[in-house]
Amino acid sequence: MKTVGFLTAYVPEEIFHAAGLTPVFIFHTPEDEGRARAHLPGFTCWIAGSALDQALTGKLDGLVGMAMAQTCDTIQGLADIWRQNVAHIPLLHFGMPLRLDSPSTRQYLLAELRSLRGRIQALTGHPISDDALWQSIAVYNRTRALVRRLYARAPHLAPSDLYALVRAAFRTPKETYNEHMAQLLELPLVLPDLGSRRNPPRVLLAGCELADPVLLDAIAQAGGRVVGDILDLGERYFAIDAATGAQREPTAPDQNPLEALADRLLALTPTPTKYRPSSDRITQVMSLVQERNADGVIFARFKFCEPHGFDYARMAHALAQAGVPHLLVELEQASQAGQLRTRVEAFIEMLA
């Protein structure tokens, strides 16, 4: 099995899959040998620092490539640094547009997808057929449907279990994941022992990556449940399927699989680095609070993250006006687990 690493919430995994590669997300880890510090300034987020440290210490040597989409200034800089210092893991950059609404966006995005397909073909030495792409889209749609079913059970799961299963979707070959997740979802619902509270406080998570284990654990310990999220790699990532080969035939016989992928990327709820005036993230959070009947919102922001930092201020303002309690926790490599735990537990207690 050949594996390709990736970062950001906008990498079209299906193209890699169609080339016979297994895309795996490179999550940040607390283990760090400090090698990235020779390349990155102190005000770089944990995500970028950890990925580079893992690459420079040989932990990613099994990867045949590393994919990153255009998102924030930090990832843009990391791509530059990666090319110069991690030459043995070729970088595959994908120019995801910032504007999702311009009349030319789709055309630009399609050109970027074609270019990426060409570069993956050059990397593996094999052509990627349309049929293979349609098949990969079907496999990924299956994963997305399963994760949506998983999220539907979120209020009954321990938050750390929920996100362990979501994270696995980013790390496991999709065929294996689909098989196991389908079996798991057939099992009768067994409520974990989360304490004796009758109406556990219902929390929404906002931020970038799938929340911190300490954070999730603290929510559970205090008797809280996660009932949904607006995390870049959370619900929004799985919310929309790509059109399948079967769906295209009656209406758009000429549609090719790259168009199906482009349309999915454009339809997703934007992360804070993208712009579509008609779907404001602040409105999205407010309606999610209503829809899920949430008692409060926890923002898990990586220290030095500008896109989420600006959004936090606007969301916090809107939530405060609506009387919805919220808490900001900042994640960094040197975070104080004890302090984080105390603050989250106090917040959940307050909601109860």
E-strand stretches of the chain: 2-7, 21-25, 63-69, 91-94, 202-207, 225-231, 296-302, 326-331
Member of 2, 32, 77, 89 binding another protein (CB under 8 A): 77
Q: From residue 107, give the alpha-carbon distance in Å to each of 11, 112, 239.
A: 17, 9, 23
Task: Tell me the per-residue interface mask from 273 to 292 with another protein, x by CB under 8 A, - otherwise.
Answer: x-x-x----x----------
Site string for another protein, 36-65 (x = CB under 8 A): --xxxxxxx---------------------
Q: In angstroms, what is the minimal distance from the CB of 125 to another protein?
A: 22
**What's the number of CA atoms in the CB half-sphere (13 Å) around residue 230?**
27
CB of 40 to another protein, least distance (A): 7
Sign of the dihedral through C-alpha 25, 29, 31, 35: positive
Q: Which of residues 234-253 bind another protein (CB under 8 A)?
A: none
Total residues interacting with another protein, rule: CB under 8 A: 54
* DSSP letter (8 states) at residue 241: P
Stretch that binds another protein, among 95-103, 117-125, 135-143, 144-152 (CB under 8 A): 95-103
Question: Which residue is listed with tokens 């798991």?
Answer: 184
- CA dist 282 and 315 (Å) reads 5
Q: Which one, 144 or 236, has the nearer CB to another protein?
A: 236
304 makes contact with another protein (CB under 8 A): yes
Closer residue to another protein in complex, CB, 214/305? 305
Options 122, 152, 313, 350; binder of another protein; rule CB under 8 A: 313
Token pair listed for 188: 């009768």
Under 8 Å between Cβ of 344 and 298: yes
Query: Please, how many CA atoms are within 13 Å of residue 27, restricted to the half-sphere of its CB?
Result: 17
The binding site for another protein (CB under 8 A) comprises 38-44, 70-74, 76-81, 83-85, 93, 95, 97-99, 102-105, 107-108, 111-112, 115, 272-273, 275, 277, 282, 301, 303-304, 306-307, 309-314, 316-317, 330
